Structure 1
Amino acid sequence: MSKLILLDAGPLGMISHPRADRNRAILEWVILMMQRGHQIKVPEVSDYEVRRELIRSSRTLGLRRLDVLRKDLGFLPISSDAMLKAAELWAMVRKKGRPTAGDSELDADAILAAQALTVSTERDETVIATSCVKCVGESFTIIYGAYSRLLKLFQNCFATSAFHFQIKKMQIN
């Protein structure tokens, strides 16, 4: 069964880096997942997080690579349903005392989780690939429990000195 894999800003930034050879493990993983028939998408919120930093630091080569990735992998725009769900998630984690960002911040993690949840209704499995398991996993495990069941942490995690690459696998109830 194929999976829809959404790239968080961490892995997307690593792949779009002009010297992506330094981040070879993540690039090889993306290629392997595509060869296995899985779809990898660039969520709009992840594109925004990476793009704003590339623009701020005048990294034109990185911007070009990001544009190519967006085109070649596919782009997942933020829907109105996802933003409505993100507002619910934002409020829920704060009520539980587990915010992923400050109260005045937009909270990209809530938006990414909401995108994953809204597209998950259309397919059996949606995966968020992140280099920050705490961001998506720890805080949003509470949320996923309310909307879906968290199946397991992938066993074949990649680990390099630069990052620990892990994936949370979600399936809607």
Structure 2
Amino acid sequence: MKFEIPFNSQIYTEQMTLNFNTAWNKNLKNNRNRLFWAVPMIILGGLIIYGENNLGFLFMAIGIHYSINFYDYYAYYKKSKKAFFELVEKEKNGQIVANENSVLEFNDDYFSYKDYKYEAKIKWKAFKSTRIIDKNLFLDLGLGNNSSYVIGEIEIGSENFNTLIEFVKRKIV
């Protein structure tokens, strides 16, 4: 199967946002839990101190520790999000200027991708998994940086998308 897909900046932005949010979702929930622990610990510590018991300082310290960890992680998330979407914007501009179709080929032996910047031919054993999220197929490479190729149902149509999913499920085990 071979697909020539014209660049659509709205679809690209949606796919990259989905990819980013999926990657960060679990860690953001864990970070939010830090805040849920911090506030009660600080309040409890304050009440215990008010009751003239020094044990309250321990609870206050734990709550402050959770608060600092929450803030540090949140600041890191915001910085990463800004950097990621700056790259997305740069890529969108490059795609628009080049005005070339992306070509995705799904062969029995390999997956091939070509766009205005580069061309890649990747054997199926290099992929670690697939994910289908909001009618987008993610082909996840087995690399440390969570690289993925994304193709959406809106880009190739429902029938081709379903056929592609079945094909990829056979290739990536």
TM category, shorter: under 0.3
Q: Between the two structures, name the one with larger relative contact order (CA 8 Å, sep ≥ 6).
A: 1
- Name the one with the larger helix percent: 2
Instruction: Return the index of the structure with the highest Cα Rg.
Output: 2
TM-score by length of 2: 0.26
